[in-house]
Structure 1
Amino acid sequence: MRYSQVLVATALLAGTAVAHADPKITLSNNAAFFQGKYGTDHTINIYYDATDVQVSDKKWKLKLTLPYLSVKNLPVGAQISSGGVVTGASTTQTRNASGMGDVWLSGQYTLLPAEGHVPSVSPYAKVKFGTASSSSGLGTGRNDYEAGVMFQQIASPKLFPFAKLGYRFIGKPAGSNYRNIATYQLGVTYAVSPRSFITPMFSGQQSMVRGNANPADAVLAWNYNVTDKGSGFQVYLDKGLSSGSANFGIGVGGQIVF
């Protein structure tokens, strides 16, 4: 469960059929609910709501993500980070917490456009600012930094495979045994119509604590563009494939393109 990454990836691919030469501004809001044990003995409920502001053109994009986070039944000593739960010492005590999540700033630039069966190559970089409360378990309180590359292919007028590979440098609180991690996504977007898109996707990453289960999820999303510019909405289902992920998740989002 990667929270907004799911909506980002599928909305990005759905927008492949709506190209813009001039810079555009996109305002979006995405809400999601996830439930699972995340490798603990407790069933944890996580609600995530993020507002995104993005400026982009055909070659580049810059995006700011402002999230709100609410969690129930989080084990004392555990922290939420990178869309998962990082556990500390085992405990039978749990707590509830709500507040601002970690703010993300990301940028991406297309070096090589897709041509024939050759995919586009788009390096990206992003920063997670440790704005979520570490004392409440909503975050680690440290910044993370990630760099990677996105590949997109136009296999046919209706089929758009994609892959994303990244490496994240994890900010380590004092006394933690966190490690840097690799992240990845693999999927394909199918254009049911010029405005309707279906995306099955696999998303995963290494665990931040060596020896814990690596988070991995299967996602099925549907995007619908209401306008020619790309304004529209999305719903998606998430199924965790490891004990390091939520058991299930559901999300809905909408965006307005100016």
Structure 2
Amino acid sequence: MRFRSLAEMGVLSLWATMGVAYAAPRFTVGNVPSYYQGSFGTASHISIFYDASYLQFRNRSWRLKLMVPYLSVSGLPRGAQLTGGGVARRTGTTQTRSASGLGDIWLSAHYTVYQGSGLLPAVVPYTKVKFGTASVTNGLGTGRNDYEVGMGLDEIIGTRIFPFAHLGYRFVGNPVGGNLRNIWTYDVGSSFIATSRNIFTAMFSGSGSEQPGYAGPADVILAWNYNVTRAGSGFQLYADKGLSNGSANYGVGLGAQVVF
């Protein structure tokens, strides 16, 4: 389960409406608290609270985003570490610990090289950097940076349906003795505008496993956006169901954003 990407989930539906309706520059400030439970491929029952605050700028071509999360975890096996939104460096120990603090900060940039026309989707290459700001001592991170490059395809069907697909390759920062490997990341789904205020999104998201010998995360996500203003200020609610041993059993999130 990539709980970092789920923190961005509420923005996907927002992009679908704003990317079409507004060419003028826009700033968004948001906060998305979320909660996950599962084994994540370990013998422990792990609970994670992930509270992500973000600042985003977008215009017709660019979307730049800085995300700063607070992280609290319980049931994490001693010696295990969180990384990139999952669990790595799993160990066989039954001893667990709890910890809280600053998570890994993410900076991303998306650039639309082709706006799309008719049956041809918009083409949006992107790059992301995960700064290793989370505590290594407490197991909240690896202390190493990750770098991801990828490509997104965003389509418009009529005026209400917005399919999307993204494929990326992440260069994983490998701490000493970590034996972590680079991974592919992917998601595919669609947003649907039910009314001017209500937007629904369904998405399948996954990646390879950073630690050899374990299953990578795979999740189905359902989200609801409610727009209070025409610009896109409003609320998001989403639910996650893990489909693999590397995912959480379930996750839920409720967030809000202000667009100006």
1:101 to 100, 103, 108: 103
Give the letter for the 2:5 counterpart. Q
Residue aligning to 1:21:
23
Distance across 2 between alignment mates of 1:233 and 1:32: 13
Residue aligning to 2:205:
203
Residue aligning to 1:5:
5
Residue aligning to 2:219:
217
**2:246 is the counterpart of 1:244:** yes
Residue aligning to 2:173:
171
- Aligned-pair distance for 1:7? 4.7
Post-superposition Cα deviations, 1:149-199, rounded to whole Å, max 9, x if no partner, equal: 111100121111100100000000011110000000000111111221111
The 8 Å contact of residues 33 and 46 in structure 1, kept in 2 or not, is answered as: yes
Residue aligning to 1:55:
57
2:233 to 223, 231, 238: 231
Distance across 1 between alignment mates of 2:192 and 2:250: 23
Gaps of at least 5 residues in structure 1 are none
DSSP-derived class of the 2:8 partner:
helix
Give the letter for the 2:252 counterpart. I
- Aligned-pair distance for 1:222? 0.4
Distance across 2 between alignment mates of 1:170 and 1:73: 24
The 8 Å contact of residues 220 and 241 in structure 2, kept in 1 or not, is answered as: yes
- Aligned-pair distance for 1:55? 1.1
DSSP-derived class of the 2:158 partner:
coil
Question: TM-score normalised to the size of structure 1?
Answer: 0.97
The 8 Å contact of residues 123 and 148 in structure 1, kept in 2 or not, is answered as: yes
- Aligned-pair distance for 1:9? 4.5
Distance across 2 between alignment mates of 1:89 and 1:239: 24
Residue aligning to 2:196:
194
Post-superposition Cα deviations, 1:68-88, rounded to whole Å, max 9, x if no partner, equal: 000001000111112111133
DSSP-derived class of the 1:11 partner:
helix
Distance across 1 between alignment mates of 2:121 and 2:226: 24
Question: TM-score normalised to the size of structure 2?
Answer: 0.96
1:125 to 124, 127, 135: 127
Post-superposition Cα deviations, 1:12-41, rounded to whole Å, max 9, x if no partner, equal: 333322322221110000000000011111
The 8 Å contact of residues 77 and 91 in structure 2, kept in 1 or not, is answered as: no
Give the letter for the 1:2 counterpart. R
Gaps of at least 5 residues in structure 2 are none
Residue aligning to 1:146:
148
Identity across the alignment (%): 52
DSSP-derived class of the 1:32 partner:
strand
- Distance of aligned partners of 1:162 and 1:55 in 2 relative to their CA distance in 1, 3 Å threshold: same
DSSP-derived class of the 1:12 partner:
helix
Distance across 2 between alignment mates of 1:17 and 1:104: 24
Residue aligning to 1:79:
81
The Cα RMSD (Å) is 1.1
Give the letter for the 1:14 counterpart. L
Post-superposition Cα deviations, 1:85-141, rounded to whole Å, max 9, x if no partner, equal: 113331011000000000001101000012111110000001000000011100000
The 8 Å contact of residues 36 and 47 in structure 2, kept in 1 or not, is answered as: yes
Alignment size in residue pairs: 258
Distance across 1 between alignment mates of 2:198 and 2:220: 20
Give the letter for the 1:65 counterpart. M
Distance across 1 between alignment mates of 2:91 and 2:231: 50
In terms of mean alpha carbon deviation, does 190-199 or 17-26 score higher?
17-26
